[in-house]
Amino acid sequence: MKVFLSVLFSTLLVAALGGCSVPTRINSETAAASEVANSKVINSPMMIDYAFQPADLDITVNPIGNTGSACSFPLALSQAFYSTFDAVNHQAFRNIVGPNSRGAYRVRFELNSFDNSLVFASRFFGTTAVAHSDLTLRVSVIDPTGNEITRQLVRGSGQQQTDVGNCSNGDQAVAGAVQKALRQSAEEYAYRVINSLNIK
């Protein structure tokens, strides 16, 4: 009887925790557009090409280790990403045109890597969620004749440590780390790509 109750309890516990999926929303970082130099105004027609799918960013972060392993944290990042980088592009480019426009420059974004980790560390009282996020993009600018005029790796990283009452609150740490990585990558794009372009 004792064995039966133990198995029943374990089964119910797994069933109860198995559905712990916490949607994790990321906000856009449109303030990164302020890092575009005031003198940088590009009037030439420009196409923007995001060469990856939203699903490449809207991934699920799973904790490392046994603590909190019943929970998962699906990210809602893609729309925040596009809003953030669109804001930077609109700050610099005054003539953004549609795909396959003739005579236009093209900025192409490729997702090089997007790595995340989450660990729950036990303390004497409570638990600490520690999250890391690293986002790397390969950004190319191509002239109207098809020649690549610059290519840069743009990186953003973030870390967030949050004391949590239970593991389902790990989304606070995950969101904080991804938010920082998004902001830093957009600022790097403004610094290293847009501010160095010699296009009128």
Q: How many whole angstroms separate alpha carbon 150 and alpha carbon 192?
A: 10
**Superfamily for domain range 20-25+41-196:** Lipoprotein like domain (3.30.160.150)
Which of 112, 195, 117 shows the shortest CA–CA distance to 155?
112
Please give the pLDDT value at position 17. 42
Domain ranges of the chain: 20-25+41-196
Whole-angstrom distance, CA of residue 27 vs CA of residue 6: 44
Rounded CA-CA distance 17/112 in Å is 34
Single pTM value for the model = 0.88
DSSP structural state of residue 173? H
Dihedrals φ, ψ of 94, to 5°? Answer: -90, -5
CB atoms within 10 A of CB 93: 24
Q: Over the range 55-71, which residues count as b (16 or more CB within 10 Å of their CB) and which as e? A: eebeeebebeeebbebb
pLDDT, mean of residues 66-87: 96
β-sheet bridge partners, residue 118: 131
Distance CA 96, CA 44 (A): 8
Q: Which tens digit of pLDDT belongs to each residue from 17-73?
A: 455 999 999 999 999 999 999 989 999 999 999 999 999 999 999 999 988 899 999
What pLDDT, in 10s, does the model give residues 106-119?
A: 999 999 999 999 99
Considering the chain, what is the average pLDDT of its residues?
90
**What is the band of 191 on the pLDDT scale with cuts at 50, 70, 90?**
very high
